[in-house]
A and B are shown apart, each in its own frame.
Chain A
């Protein structure tokens, strides 16, 4: 019986930097403009035009590199990657090759199988995007849109560190989180601002040598990451196990993932692979970064998700799960902290944010509709006994839909709890009078009926009675 198969995955992620203009010219880098409108002699590669690096792109790339714990090199070199393609107007892409911007980083993420694990970031480099070939616009013709041409990207390359498609996805979600936190990218896969290529191989568990890798391209949604990698993993295992156990060999090649059919098909084999003829771009001097510049970018970084999660765990005594949910998005984390600073009890506020605020946001275009201060007010009212948990949820929905101060909304809806013991005593007497049988059963030792009486008091008061007070009055009366 051979050892089970082990999947080995490495990822190359292309991320669009959040700049206004392109990497080497002043054209807008915005998504969605009419074809070929965000173009100029430089990004069109017209004869004689020359590139000039975008300083903001360099800053954002450095911040991304620092956020991923990379060593940022004081001197890196732009290189030309040469290949012919109609949407590559210069016939080469400006990238970095022998001397990338940054190397040797890492990113810890929560593996569904192995807990917290660390992926190595082998390198992070700057490059420009190519244009887009549109094959479906005109019958039998290919149209070219060069708006994307020259849009600034970073490529982030990991080691062969992932052991399952699920891990690859978990890493990508964490990467997205960190880059969003760092302000480096909006990581919107639908707009193409985050794109993933994966190197996949399989081997027998316990083997140290890597199997022959296959590159999977065209994974353009988070939803497809697991599917595409699973399909390729299963394909390789099937090949290796062969028909009837014969055992074939994996060919080193590039596969394209087709989301429609959930399958992969070969794009090119190793023999057909490009010789990119990289060489230093003579149009661009080496990118020399002063130590002060790098430190400025470090100082510009906010607290990153892992650090924030750890702080939430200790400072607010939250579970790792709650802290992770609250820090997965910087806006949510800031919202939570604002509610706490406005006086909400941290653990209670965490429950509210996770159960109510995020659920509401999910249904409403990720809008956090109830201001943090209002949430804090709501939480305090519950704690002070002026609002039941149930009533508070109603008030929350009301504030989300129509706005207003929770206090006023609760009053207007008549949901303020009655904490006057005289009034509550009257409701209690009413309930005890109406349930003589239960009273005698209680007095005969069936004390679990107390909750029944509390429920009846709440019913009689139409939810206005403070349940704790009601319970206390009930206990007193039933004891006498």
Chain B
């Protein structure tokens, strides 16, 4: 596409599709604002851009100039960022059309998009189920065919898990591959912007555009943007490791069958398959739920009602203002994590929790390095323990909710790239499998995903 009339048509069609799928509550931007913005964007977009005219939705925790950035929270209701995230600036420069802001768990804390102050997002295949989270709005929009790709963000699986539950592709790049400037911080040492796409190619080409150095982010690596690999003929030459800890005895049978089917395909495609062990895997969720809340408790301190966002007034002194604003502005899950994080950083508990968790994080990262050092190129695992669960099912039990991240948080803790893609269905609901790769070798990951995508019976029952 390089014709302005086509871009305009693409913009209008995307706006129409958003309106048609309104019942999903996946997009937080109002239809009028969205249409107006999309038309203006299509007119302003540069036809030479590699994503010219491509509608790309953006998770609501990524700063945009055109729309409010609320992070799914009441505490940022109506907040407009005076600047734009580097990833969004790069998307625009490539000619993409920012197709509204997508619903998410508040401040990306959650695995079901039920923890949004703006209501839950419905699973596009079954409205009684969740789309996963926290990037559930992005996943639902891509799965519903509204946009070919959307930006999400991951702290502990928040792109791959909803991608898996919604039957789309989700890429979490290496920590430091994409600038975090403008991504509202949750767990800064874990956060990465990722991409959800209807295909490996759609996700990968968006990732390629948003990747690369950024002088505004000290944790972003000084590297050129990712170069897309070509689609390989087969998996010849790949050594794929199957970590046994990701296939526990009580694994959901449908998930196991789908994975077994994929492993057979690997062999058929010429890959060498090896069982490997990542012995510290069982500590990953506990480690994650110390470190991410610790960082969150500090990152979210700035929302105090003093400078921006709604102020829950009537307070007579500044402490009361803080209490009222934060007490009413944050939802229960966010408050829970701030409390956990404050606790684990407190004097007298720091060594027992935070420091210990940092040590465990190093061991988990070492597990991966050990596997790769033994000649494994990529690891393959299920993305989630089950298909999409029922709305409300895990709300009363935070730990059950946290365990839905059990296969995804490790890549975040180790800072490694991973990609989830559909590998089958269970009673009509999508199942995902993921490749975890070596740091900054997204190209290998994408190459393998291309090859698997061509042969996997993604929409057939496992």
Contact = CB atoms under 8 A, between A and B. Distances in A.
B180 A279 contact: no
B64 to A, nearest CB: 10
A284 B215 CA distance: 13
Contacts of B217: 50, 52
B302 A47 contact: yes
Interface string B173-199: 000000011111101110000000000
B154 interface: no
Interface string A42-72: 0011111111110000000000000000000
B342 interface: yes
B306 A41 contact: no
Nearest to A53: B218
A91 B302 CA distance: 5
Contact of A86 (B69, B215, B300, B306): B306
Contacts of A89: 302, 306-307
Given A48-B181, A91-B304, A275-B347, A283 B83 contact: no
Interface string B331-344: 00000000000100
A125 interface: no
Given A41-B82, A91-B298, A277 B181 contact: no
Given A44-B307, A48-B184, A277 B82 contact: no
B347 A46 contact: no
A47 B218 contact: no
B308 A50 contact: no
B346 A47 contact: no
A282 interface: yes
A142 B182 CA distance: 30
B216 interface: yes
Contact of B322 (A44, A84, A92, A144): A84
Contacts of B118: none
Interface string A144-182: 100000000000000000000000000000000000000
A221 interface: no
Given A82-B301, A86-B306, A48 B185 contact: yes
Given A46-B82, A50-B218, A282-B189, A277 B345 contact: yes
Interface in B300-320: 300-302, 304, 306-308, 318
A90 interface: yes
Given A41-B82, A82-B301, A91-B302, A50 B63 contact: no
Contact of A47 (B76, B297, B345, B350): B76
A361 B79 CA distance: 56
B218 A90 contact: no
B209 interface: no
A46 B184 CA distance: 9
A80 B215 contact: no
Contacts of A48: 62-63, 69, 81, 85, 180-185
B219 interface: yes
A30 B442 CA distance: 44
A49 B219 contact: no
Contacts of B182: 48-49
A84 B338 CA distance: 14
Nearest to A80: B298
Contacts of B350: 277, 279
Interface string A91-118: 1100000000000000000000000000
Nearest to A41: B83
Contacts of A41: 81-83
Nearest to B345: A277
Contacts of B345: 82, 277-279
B293 to A, nearest CB: 12
Contacts of B262: none
B298 A46 contact: no
Contacts of B318: 86, 142
Contact of A50 (B62, B181, B306): B181
A285 interface: yes
A300 B190 CA distance: 39
A52 B187 CA distance: 18
5 contacts: A48-B85, A50-B216, A51-B218, A84-B322, A283-B188
Interface of B: 62-63, 69, 71, 76, 79, 81-83, 85, 180-185, 187-189, 215-219, 294-295, 297-298, 300-302, 304, 306-308, 318, 322, 342, 345-347, 350, 354
Given A47-B81, A91-B304, 4 more contacts: A45-B302, A48-B81, A282-B188, A282-B189
